[in-house]
Amino acid sequence: MKTCAILTTGNEVKTGRIEDKFTPVLVKKLEGFGISVIYHELTGDGIEAVRDAIARARAQKPDMILCTGGMSVDPDDNTPGAIKASGADIVTYGATVLPGAMFLLGYFDDGTPIMGLPGCVMYAKATVFDLALPRIAAGVRMDKRDFVAMGEGGLCLGCESCRYPVCPFGK
């Protein structure tokens, strides 16, 4: 069975001002692939806080690490910088896929993938995360070319009667 660590970023979640609704959605998606969550932490904000939480998560030896909380282009979003500061080699920060254009994927030297998830993963049925997760769960190392190829078919049309994955999204 594969394992995962989830890091929920944001002071508003850590202090309880906003309820963490992201983690339950992720847990459900991961369960569909037989992936169990072995570590979860509310990190707060700041590059150092998130970077240190990534180190604590890595110490648990999960098969993958997921960072939630946004991944926006806002200058106050420290998650991408923290992932880079953690020592991960960034494969992509951005994908030609909607929803999910601000997705981040990196790998550590030992091959452990780390992903920064955009907020749309919490509410959209199909996102770039849903395209990448099956490959990553199967142990397939993704590279920049994989994400470039997603540009064709990379727009979810939000059909009223969604039939994902039986659709042109993410061919």
Handedness of CA 17, 21, 23, 24 (dihedral sign): positive
pLDDT, tens digit (0-9, with 9 covering 90-100), for 29-88: 999 999 999 999 999 989 999 999 999 999 999 999 999 976 655 656 789 999 999 999
What gap in Å lies between CA 25 and CA 122, rounded to an integer? 6
- Quote the radius of gyration of the chain (alpha carbons, Å): 15
What gap in Å lies between CA 26 and CA 143, rounded to an integer? 23
pTM: 0.93
Higher per-residue confidence, 74 vs 4: 4
DSSP summary character for residue 97: -
